[in-house]
Structure 1
Amino acid sequence: MRTTLLCLLIALTLSSCEDYFFEPDKASSNPYDNFEYLWNELDKKYSYFELKNIDWDEMKTTYEARLYPNMSETELFNTLADLMNELRDDHSNLVSPFNVSVYNVPLTKPANYHARTIDEFYIPHAERTGSFKHAMLSGTNIAYIRYASFSDDISNTHLDYLLDKYRYTDGIILDLRDNGGGSMFNIPMLLERFIDSRTLVAYTLTRNGKGRNDFSDRATFYMNPYEGTRYTKPIMVLIDRGSYSAATFFALSTKAIPNLTLVGDTTGGGGGMPNGGQLPNGWTYRFSISQLLDLDGNNYAEDGVPPDILVSFDWTDLTKDEIIERAIQEID
């Protein structure tokens, strides 16, 4: 059974697909035309101006002053990229034939993941099944599953194998630390395996008016349980500052699922859903058009999703992962 969440993700993805097909009679390489077009599109559709306290009119004045009639494509690209980076949003990108703009999220918190510690001291004989690295943790009846990126494909065949293999365990540790996100469509593939009834997991708001704080009514994100193999015993989901975008979305959704517990540190944020279009000169762009909220109405795009159990990695002892150890205690 496909989920309501999946359907809504598709709808949001397609909601402005027409923007990618720019009308030929509006094509222009003029720097002023392209600046005005991008600024206006963001002004009409970007969803986080108020949350991030961004003075978008001031940004127009600042960056429009950098334009001049015969500026090079590189200069125009850098100006538009700098404008987009004022959004402080890793889901905001400008794409040209010669460059791609990326906002680098400041890492203000210590790292809480060390792959070598896990590989050497916790899962030295791990299996790999599709995008998952997994093993039983020695001396326990607990399985450890590592999912490194939501960009990595998930198949029902692989999930069936994993959940059947570990069906008699006391619990699972699902490690999403240092998972920088990827495809939102992989979120329901996992979540629907961990519930046994239809579950409301989140809300979304989408810009729909001229005002920068004009949004649609809340749309609901429901998950329906998978009709095949599922696992509804305790699952400790490990998160940290490197858990971003789709990983933040997943972490937020776990708040509504009783058998899932977040352990570690606050995620990196980035919960908005991106969409985009094409500039008059043919370059493409994307930015966040919606906001993701938990069931209490909290928005974690800027500050990240906090864990249920806060634990930090101790870098003075690389033979032990305190976050895994705490997750084991919670299951035992």
Structure 2
Amino acid sequence: MLNTHIKRLSIQNLSRMLSFLLIFLLAGCDSDNSQSSGGAGANTNVNAQAGIWVAPAYGIAVDIRANDFTFYQFTGDYCQIYPIVDLLGIDYERLVASFNVNDDGNILQTTLAGVKVPGIMMEKQNQLPQHCIDNLETAVGDANYEFSARRDFEIFWQTYNELYAFFELEDLNWADVYDQASLDVNDDTSEEELFGIFAQMVTPLRDFHVEIINPVIGFEYTSPSRKTTIDRIALADFLSINDLEAISNEAEYLQFIAYLEEQKDSALSAVFEHVAEGEEIRFNDTQTLVWARMRENVGYLLINTMDDNELGGSESIEENLVQLASMMDQVILDLVGVKALVIDIRYNEGGDDFVSQYIAGRLTNQSFDAYRKQSRVGATRTPLQTVRIEVQGETQYTGPIAVLSSMSTSSAAEVFSLIMHEREMTLAIGEATAGGFSDQLIKILPSGMVYTLSNEIYSNMAGVEFEGFGAPVDVEIDFFTREQREGNIDMGFEEALLLLRNF
């Protein structure tokens, strides 16, 4: 499949991908490249925050000082600096403002300026891990840096060995992976060769949150997903129609992309045939939210992404949330008086949990506990954190809802599905979601290669975990089948209308 092959990236695509991935990176500044706040009085609790804080479940540490700080990433044997404040676009004041220290002064929680919800818990320590003091690794850009394939390999393997949470889903022995892959790594191994070795190592994980990006050589790789996504369905149809075994050149690839978009439009047209007479299909400026009043006085809301940048069109989380609030105000106003609402997240490949939480908060008039999450730490786990949905905005929709999901519904969109399972008067229809809930924990090797892994475990309020399996549905109905597209029908949407009619 397309996403299981190494691809060369254009500079534009690489920049866009790195911007998306690095939003989750932990920022810092070292003593040689200090990034001062330019305003030391921004943090009113700087004395409580000052010191060394460590999060073993994330392999990170931070040294907070009066006017700046340094983030580190570490494994059992290696330690590096995260010099990434400028890449995040988060200044000192905003980041430090997201630090919250408990009354005892021994636990710090940070949302990384609102990106991580409910936040990373860090414990106060007297000093950094010893190897961060004695043997800090050099990195690309340092005067004395030299590429070492063996060092990058050891850090890469150790990071997964210590933090990755889901080896058992594929019954993968990571020690065996080391024994096999290490045979191919030596002093002469190039960056291109090492990239290929890493790709082979993570392919069996079948985890689409596992990615490798080398911005120097322009390679990226994503571990294949476990389920049959819309893209895969369309690809199989495209190959069959054109009597091809695989896509072998750029022209065929572009033809497939055009076919994929055409088929998505075809599938959506089956839904939009139900728009009530005299009503319009409405959408936001970025065309990521689409809504309409359907026949039988049922509302329809298509949410194409949970990515705040894609929804709001800004690089600022705060500005995007303001835009999202305005969008939801308009949706609720336009659909006022509907007797039921269909929310379609079948095309939604995720984004940000805080977006999912906000939208859910516009669909209730009472707060509720939605799900729990924790992280792997060695052979144990961190304490459970409960995520509670708070009522959002001045107006809410509180009537019956049917949520349509598919095997392409991924990441933060799956979190939305998980949340809605805890909402009253809500049905889940379609296919169980993709099964990738964990946030991407993003790391950087000394060579500058970016890699990601899944270290967080999500569960519903009953304690059931869905990583690898996906959020379940109440009524199972296949989506995006060739028969439905050619027949201009949407069986999932039809079932939603039927069930809501008698809800």
TM-score, length of structure 1 as denominator length: 0.87
Q: 1:274 aligned to 440, 445, 448, which one? A: 440
Q: 1:247 aligned to 395, 413, 437, which one? A: 413
2:198 maps to 80
| Distance (whole Å) between structure 2 residues aligned to residue 277 and residue 294 of structure 1 | 28
CA shift in 2, pair 1:24/1:31, >3 Å: closer
CA shift, 1:121, in A, is 2.2
CA shift, 1:102, in A, is 0.9
Q: 1:207 aligned to 366, 376, 384, which one? A: 376
Give a deviation string over 1:138-192, Cα, whole Å, max 9, x none: x310111111122332510010010111120001111111211122231112111
| Distance (whole Å) between structure 2 residues aligned to residue 114 and residue 133 of structure 1 | 14
Does residue 105 of structure 1 match 2:225? Answer: yes
8 A Cα contact 1:93 1:100, kept in partner: yes
Does residue 234 of structure 1 match 2:403? Answer: no
8 A Cα contact 1:8 1:221, kept in partner: no
The one-letter code matched in structure 2 to 1:316 is E
What's the secondary structure of 1:316's corresponding residue? helix
What's the secondary structure of 1:281's corresponding residue? coil
CA shift, 1:42, in A, is 1.2
| Distance (whole Å) between structure 2 residues aligned to residue 249 and residue 229 of structure 1 | 23
CA shift, 1:196, in A, is 1.8
The one-letter code matched in structure 1 to 2:268 is I
Write the mapping of 1:124-143 to structure 2, written as runs, cut at 5 A.
Answer: 125-130=280-285, 131-137=288-294, 139-143=295-299
CA shift, 1:259, in A, is 2.5
| Distance (whole Å) between structure 2 residues aligned to residue 203 and residue 65 of structure 1 | 41
The one-letter code matched in structure 2 to 1:198 is S
Q: 1:192 aligned to 355, 361, 380, which one? A: 361
| Distance (whole Å) between structure 2 residues aligned to residue 51 and residue 247 of structure 1 | 21
The one-letter code matched in structure 2 to 1:134 is W
1:146 maps to 302
| Distance (whole Å) between structure 2 residues aligned to residue 48 and residue 132 of structure 1 | 33
Structure 2 residue runs of 5 or longer lacking an equivalent are 1-110, 140-144, 235-262, 313-323
Which region of structure 1 is more displaced relative to structure 2, 45-54 or 297-306?
45-54
The one-letter code matched in structure 2 to 1:129 is N
| Distance (whole Å) between structure 2 residues aligned to residue 43 and residue 191 of structure 1 | 35
What's the secondary structure of 2:219's corresponding residue? coil
What's the secondary structure of 1:140's corresponding residue? helix
2:210 maps to 92
Does residue 9 of structure 1 match 2:117? Answer: yes
What's the secondary structure of 2:300's corresponding residue? strand
CA shift, 1:24, in A, is 5.2
Does residue 287 of structure 1 match 2:453? Answer: yes
Q: 1:257 aligned to 419, 423, 432, which one? A: 423
The one-letter code matched in structure 2 to 1:79 is I
Equivalent pairs counted in the alignment come to 321
| Distance (whole Å) between structure 1 residues aligned to residue 490 and residue 137 of structure 2 | 57
CA shift, 1:84, in A, is 2.5
| Distance (whole Å) between structure 2 residues aligned to residue 257 and residue 323 of structure 1 | 20
1:46 maps to 164
| Distance (whole Å) between structure 2 residues aligned to residue 179 and residue 164 of structure 1 | 23
What's the secondary structure of 1:173's corresponding residue? strand
Does residue 67 of structure 1 match 2:185? Answer: yes
What's the secondary structure of 1:190's corresponding residue? helix
What's the secondary structure of 1:236's corresponding residue? strand
CA shift, 1:23, in A, is 4.7
| Distance (whole Å) between structure 2 residues aligned to residue 82 and residue 90 of structure 1 | 14
Does residue 316 of structure 1 match 2:316? Answer: no
Root-mean-square deviation (CA), in Å? Answer: 2.9
Write the mapping of 1:5-44 to structure 2, written as runs, cut at 5 A.
Answer: 9=117, 11-12=119-120, 23=136, 25=138, 28-44=146-162
The one-letter code matched in structure 2 to 1:282 is G
CA shift, 1:7, in A, is 8.1
What's the secondary structure of 2:311's corresponding residue? coil
Higher relative helix content: 2
The one-letter code matched in structure 1 to 2:345 is L
TM-score, length of structure 2 as denominator length: 0.59
8 A Cα contact 1:178 1:241, kept in partner: no
| Distance (whole Å) between structure 1 residues aligned to residue 121 and residue 202 of structure 2 | 20
Rg larger in 1 or in 2? 2
The one-letter code matched in structure 1 to 2:192 is T
2:55 maps to none
Structure 1 residue runs of 5 or longer lacking an equivalent are none
| Distance (whole Å) between structure 2 residues aligned to residue 106 and residue 90 of structure 1 | 8
Give a deviation string over 1:220-263, Cα, whole Å, max 9, x none: 11111114111110111100111111111111121111122211
Larger relative contact order (Cα-Cα within 8 Å, sequence gap ≥ 6): 1
CA shift, 1:282, in A, is 1.9
| Distance (whole Å) between structure 2 residues aligned to residue 60 and residue 325 of structure 1 | 50
Which region of structure 1 is more displaced relative to structure 2, 245-254 or 34-43?
245-254
Give a deviation string over 1:18-76, Cα, whole Å, max 9, x none: 9xx99554655111111001111111111112344221111111111111221221101
| Distance (whole Å) between structure 2 residues aligned to residue 166 and residue 94 of structure 1 | 43
2:328 maps to 159
| Distance (whole Å) between structure 1 residues aligned to residue 419 and residue 450 of structure 2 | 31
| Distance (whole Å) between structure 2 residues aligned to residue 136 and residue 34 of structure 1 | 55
| Distance (whole Å) between structure 2 residues aligned to residue 109 and residue 85 of structure 1 | 17
Give a deviation string over 1:269-294, Cα, whole Å, max 9, x none: 10112112211212121111111111
